[in-house]
Amino acid sequence: MVHTVGRGGIWEKVPRCFPTMPHDPDPPPAKKFKPGSVFFRLEKNKPGMLLPRKGNVTTPIDVQRKQLPIYQAKPRLLNELRRLHNAIVIGETGSGKTTQIPQYLFEAGIGRQGLIAITQPRRVAAISLAGRVAEEKRTQLGKLVGYTVRFEDVTSPETKLKFMTDGMLLREAIGDPLLLRYTVVILDEAHERTVHTDVLFGVVKTAQRRRRELNKIPLKVIVMSATMDVDLFSEYFNKSPVLYLEGRQHPIQIYYTKQPQSDYLQAALVSVFQIHQVVFDI
């Protein structure tokens, strides 16, 4: 798909990501774009991974992990998550919730008796995040870190961190309503409220209660989102505490389009290309 925009583009201003960006009130027209060819390469052995082209990579992955806003909160977060059976975690997008919290739990030995499941509403997110976390743990995808989406199961007996779609965990719950393989279930992107997610909330809550009644290994349930009605979720999960993570990885400014946009996908694509063109032209 090729998108071009005329001079001026659709935005009032192009977001100024870097302080050195020239003060041009109108963004230049976006160049024609060949998908997959410009700034990124597809990693064949790691499905879903879009890695920056060689040459753009400067920061080692361990350092990248430590630069995430969540890293500052790690000791306090782990203290809380160790003792709580239910928790709601809220943090800015990109702060490191999805990629870091499962690793922190695993590294701290929390939930080691079973698997840590991290659910995603979309399969592409489950695949991509598993790839990223496997890379951060320097392990082959499908070993310590794996994923399960419909028609694809990249896990093994070694797998401890399992990214999966809501639908797949729901399917597993049909055969095992107590979810006994899992010691921690992280319900990510909870604000999206898909049918699967909503049903899953009920399933994990019941599994947690039944396991307590039957004296089985407890199930920890963590609900995560960048933005959601926390009171509603907290109330539902036995008045669970809400942990707020502070900090953003990048400065964020909001700009408004001159005209209403009927096609959000195209508008988003055009903006991405405009931003990249401005950033890489300077």
Ligand X SMILES: Nc1ncnc2c1ncn2[C@@H]1O[C@H](COP(=O)(O)OP(=O)(O)OP(=O)(O)O)[C@@H](O)[C@H]1O
- The answer to whether 121 contacts ligand X (rule: CB under 6 A) is no
Shortest gap between Cβ of 24 and ligand X (angstroms)? 27
Q: Does 155 help bind Mg ion (rule: CB under 5 A)? A: no
In the complex, minimum distance from the CB of residue 201 to Mg ion, in angstroms, rounded to a whole number: 17
Residues 103, 90: Cα–Cα separation, whole Å: 17
**Chosen residue from 5, 30, 68, 275 binding ligand X by CB under 6 A:** 68
Cβ at position 245, least distance to ligand X in Å: 8
Distance CA(224)–CA(184), nearest Å, equals: 13
How, if at all, do strands 152-154 and 50-52 pair? unpaired
Instruction: With CA atoms as reference, report the closest residue to 130 among 253, 43, 198, 33.
Output: 43
Contact range with ligand X by CB under 6 A, out of 34-42, 89-97, 159-167, 170-178? 89-97
CB contact burial 211-240 (16+ within 10 A = b; e otherwise): beeeeeeebbbbbbbbebebeebbeebeeb
Which among ligand X, Mg ion, none contacts residue 46 (Cβ within 5 to 8 A by kind)?
Answer: none
Matching residue, tokens 């659709």: 10
Query: Which is it for strands 242-245 and 50-52: parallel, antiparallel or unpaired?
Result: unpaired
* Identity of the residue, 101 or 270, whose beta carbon is nearer to ligand X in the bound complex: 101
Q: Which of 79, 93, 156, 257 touches ligand X by CB under 6 A?
A: 93
For 110, the 3-state DSSP assignment is: coil
* Dihedral angle sign, alpha carbons of residues 154, 43, 122, 100: positive
Residue 234 touches which member of ligand X, Mg ion, none, C-beta under 5-8 Å by kind = none
- Binding ligand X (rule: CB under 6 A), the pick from 9, 27, 91, 167 is 91
- For ligand X, the binding residues in 195-234 under the rule CB under 6 A are 226
Stretch that binds ligand X, among 109-117, 125-133, 197-205, 234-242 (CB under 6 A): 125-133
Q: Is 200 exposed, middle or buried (0-12, 13-18, 19+ CB in 10 A)?
A: buried
Q: Which of 77, 88, 98, 160 binds ligand X (CB under 6 A)?
A: 98
Q: Beta strand pairing status for 86-91 and 50-52?
A: unpaired
The binder of ligand X chosen from 15, 29, 47, 94 (CB under 6 A): 94
What is the smallest separation between the CB atom of 117 and ligand X, expressed in angstroms? 15
Number of residues that bind Mg ion (CB under 5 A): 2
98 binds Mg ion (CB under 5 A): yes
DSSP-assigned letters across all residues of 38-85 = SSEEE-TTSTT-EEEPTTT--S-HHHHHHHSHHHHHHHHHHHHHHH-S
Residues lying near ligand X in the complex (CB under 6 A) are found at 68, 91, 93-100, 128-129, 131-132, 226, 249
